[in-house]
Every structure is written in structure tokens, then in C-alpha cells.
Amino acid sequence: MISWFRRRPICALSAIGVVIAGSVAALFFLPGALASWQQRRLLTSARAFFERGDFRSAMISCRQLIQLNPNQREAYPILIAIGEESNSPQALTWASKLVEVSHHDPRALSQLAALALKFGELEVAQEALNQLPAASKETATALSLQATVDVVQGSLIHAEALFDRAARLEPSNVSHRLNSLKIQMQLGDPVKAEAARHELEELAENPHARSEALRALLQDARAHSRSERALGIAEQLASIPDASISDNLLRLDELGVSGPDRFRAALANLRQKVQSSGNRGLIFQVLSWQNSHGMYQESLTWKEQLPAEVAAGFPIVLAESEALMGLQDWGRLRTKVAAADWGQMNYLRLAIYSRAERELSNGQFRERWESALVATAGEWNALLELANLAERWGWEEQAVQVFWIIARQSQGQNIALKRLYKFYSDQRNTRELYKVAKRILEVNPNDLIAMNNVAALGLLLGEDREQALKLAGEVYSRAPSVAAFAGTCAFAMLKAGQTDRAFDAVKDLPSKALEDPSIALYYALVLSAHGQSNAAKPYLEDALRDGHLFPEEELLARQALVP
């Protein structure tokens, strides 16, 4: 299945309020007053369509509004909300657009970061937070978002400190304290964890904090395999008036484990409830949940029972495609998507079409894939969706292709370059990695790590020798205490025949730094150049044994071991 359908337990930010800036830019043949009236009408229509769950019509109204006035900010929150309701990363594209038209307004950047976390795009979230002005980084919202990034990266202690700071800045927002308590239950301190549970149970009595506190307690019960307790908490969650669909789905998860006799009835009731609402977004959530639990045929059966005007629209057709992929019914999938129109999401339809063609051994799959790329219109977030999809399908060639497209653009390139760097590092493909390193340096010309990587890889490959020597010396002069920089500088000095300067660069390296195989290799090469081959031998052998050297480094190590 497509993994973005899984919902993530990230606290959502409320939609940001914006106002139209400046005078209205009307078409040349329209009087300003008429253009303004048209925009108000389209905005009103878009909001009404959204409230009724008619996302396609709402999106059309918003796009018409943007065509009239690209700087009309009020259209973007509706488009973002449509993406969120559909659980589609397309929300990220619109959030990025809002950042542009708002001239990097801190609220827009914070919303982009929150959405990126929801859809698992950690690099997008971090990049948005990095762009915040210094003062905005110290707000409760920004601290909480950065803490969430830290949680995903496993830096729980630092995350707890940030949540505590956010709670002090915004004591009326209990979410910050709740998030801190969640972490305390995971830190491995039984006393602290029990105190956190007790406080969460007290907060669960607070109507304003009840849902979030119960979700935290449910997560803790699951982590400790307390299935009966988990079911009881999930029942409480679902019984809250106006409980969200996601909370009802949490209850279904627990019923599947501890109450199978009630599971079917509960699922049927939920399906009936969301179907009667006519809201495609809610129906899509339940369909996606079923697909994530392998209930593909049930999703297809229910989809056929939906009213035609609901079943034919996006994102229901996306959930249907997911179910067909789950069943590996490639022929039926191809028929469904071949001539369909998914509007703004056609790039996704074409990618799925390509998948069906490939599974059916049809050589046209490449043509379909290229059509999907064209359909993104160069939007970096849409391209990133395709790259992620290709990775999940095991399509390395296509994933790399798309990452390079993004890497050469003016937006999203840092994210794409990081993914390419990891890809080629894992493959130990030094030459392609060098191309990535050079592009990173073009984008970030003052980044010392980028400068060091270009120098080290250039020296290994024998490329741009003068530039590599210059960069290695510059990086070391600016940060001589960084072991990796010292190792690169020493290697550069050896290449230049300056063995004494090479020795000076690494002679005081701490033993901990020499646990890195590359640094150990360059240290050993310096020792060998100084006639200390016996002292160098253990470092060379350990570096080779580690198995993480690049092929060119392995060759240097083996040559140095030859008497």
C-alpha cells in the first residue's frame, strides 16, 4: 500500500488567518470592482463546497481565484485543508505556495512544518523551521514543532526540554505539557513514567485536554502490551461527543485485538455514519484505514455501494486504486485509471497507471511515468511525492531521476540532495556522490561540510585537484578541531607531497575520532608516509574490516598494507 495513507499522531495547527494584501490584480479587460466581486464570489463558493465535502468543486473555485489573482492568499488555506481532509501530501504543495505569496510569513512557515511532520517529510519540516526569523524560532509554536522533529530523530531529552520551554511560554496550551509527559513515559525512568501517567489521567478529566491525554495513555498502554487497558481507553476516546474519525479508528484497532466479536458491528456503524455525511474526506479516511489493514476487497465492495456522485470523485478513486494494488489486480487497475481525470492529482494517477503497465509487462510504463512527471508542472512537492512513491515501489532508477530533477531546481533541492547523497553513500558510488557533493556546494557555498566533502571526494577520484587542495586547506583553517576536516586536510597534504604538514594536521586526533574508518585510513596513510608502517597497520586493517570505505579508499588501504 502507499504508506502516506497512514495517519500520524502529530498535533495539527489551526488554519492561519490571512488578509488580502495590496490592490486586486484584475484582468486587463475587467474593471477593478468586477474583478473584486468575482474573487469574493469564488472564495464564498469554495468555502461552501468545502463544507459540503465537495472537494473537487472547492478546488476548481480556488484555482479560478488564483488565476484571477495569484497573490490571493485566502484560497490557499482552503486548498491546504482539502489536502489534509484527503490525507494527501498535495497539502504540502499549497502550503509551500502560501509561504511564497506571504513572503515567508512565520505563520505560513510554521504551518508548512506541521504539515510536513504529519506526512513524514522530516527534511521539509526542518527546512521550514530553519527559515524562520530568529525571534519566531523562540515562540511556543516553533519550539513545539522543533521538539516534534527531535522526537522523530530520537533526541527525546532535548525534545522534552523544548516542550517544557513551550509550556512556560504558552501555559494555557496544554498540548505542550501533554507532549512533554508523553516523552517522560518513554525515557526508561519508571518513577518518572508513573508520575507522567498519573498526571495524564488527571488531565483526561479536563474537557479541553481529554482527547489528547487519552491518546497519550492509549499509546502508552499499547507500548506495554496492555491490550485490555488500551481497549478501555479507546472506548473512552470514541465516546467523547463529536469524536474524530481517527479516534473511532483507534477504537477499531483495539477491537480487532481485544474485542473481535464487536469489531464487525463497530466498523459497519462507522461506515454508515461517514457515508450518510456524504463527506468524501471522511469516507476516504475509513477506506484508507481498511486498506492499511489488508481489507482491500471490503473497500472495493463498499466503494461500489456509495452514491455515484461520491464514489466517482477524488480522493475515493485514490483509495480504490490502493485497494486494487493491494489485491494486485493490475488489469482492473489499468482500466480504472487509464482514462480517468483526477484533476490536480493527475500526476499521481499517471504514476499508478505506470505501475499497472509495468506489472503487466507493458513497455509503455516508461512513457506513463514521464507523463506523470510532466503533470506535476515542476511542483517540487508533487515531484517529491513521485520520488517517494518510486522508492516504495523499489523503482530506484525513477526515484533517482526525480530527485535529480528537484536537485536542479530552486526549491526543495536540499531535501533531494540529502536523499541522493544517502543513496549513493549506501551504494558506495563515489563518482555519483561527487556530483551530488558539488551540487550541494553550489547551493550552500559557505557550508564547511559541503566544502570538505567536495575536497575529499575530489582527491579520491583525482578530479579538480587544485580546487580540492584549496577547499581542504580552507576548511581545516576555519575548523581545525573537527576530525573529519583534519583527515581531509592531511590527505590533501599527502597528495601535495607535504608529509610534515599532513602529520601536523592529525597528530593530536583523539582516539575516539580514529574509530571512524575514513579518518583512521588517512591517519594510517600519514603514519606510513612517515615510515611508521607497523603503527599504521592496525588502523588500516580495522578500516578495511569495517566495510564502510569507498572502493577508492579500500584500494589505498590495501596498497599501504603491501610491504
pLDDT in tens, 34-63: 567 788 889 899 999 988 878 878 988 998
Average pLDDT of 71-90?
A: 84
Residue with cell string 509561504: 99
- Which among 159, 152, 113, 156 is positioned nearest to 136, based on CA atoms? 113
Contact 375, 88 (CB under 8 A): no
- pLDDT of 28 reads 36
User: What pLDDT does residue 33 have?
Assistant: 54
Tracing cell 532535548 back to the chain, one arrives at 158
What is the predicted pLDDT for the residue at 35?
61
Tens of pLDDT, residues 468-484: 999 999 999 999 999 99
Length, in residues, of the chain: 563
CA–CA separation, 7 and 21 (whole Å): 35
**Per residue, what are the HEC states of 336-358?**
HHHCCCCHHHHHHHHHHHHHHHH
Highest mean predicted confidence (pLDDT) among 13-27, 320-334, 378-392 = 320-334
Render pLDDT for 505-544 as a digit per residue (tens, 0 to 9): 999 999 999 999 999 999 999 999 988 999 999 999 999 9
- Which of the residue ranges 84-98, 143-157, 169-183, 317-331 would you say has the lowest mean pLDDT? 84-98
Residues 182-187, mean pLDDT to the nearest whole number:
92
pLDDT confidence bin for 25, thresholds 50/70/90: very low
Mean pLDDT, the chain, rounded, equals: 89
Q: Which domains does the chain have, with CATH numbers?
A: 1-131 (1.25.40.10), 428-561 (1.25.40.10)
Digit-coded pLDDT (tens) for 416-467? 999 999 999 999 999 999 999 999 999 999 999 999 999 999 999 999 999 9
321 within 8 A of 337, measured Cβ to Cβ: yes
The mean per-residue pLDDT over the stretch 155-177 comes to: 94
Question: Which pLDDT does position 27 carry in this prediction?
Answer: 30
Report how far residue 116's alpha carbon sits from residue 122's, in angstroms, rounded to the nearest whole number.
6
**What pLDDT, on the 0 to 100 scale, is given for residue 119?**
82
85: which 3 cell numbers? 481532509
88 and 389 Cβ atoms separated by less than 8 Å: no
Q: Which residue has the higher pLDDT, 73 or 454?
A: 454
Residues 6 or more apart whose Cβ sits within 8 Å of residue 453: 437, 440, 441
Kindly report the pTM of this predicted structure.
Answer: 0.79
CA distances from 20 to 32, 59, 63, 311, 474 (A): 15, 19, 16, 36, 48
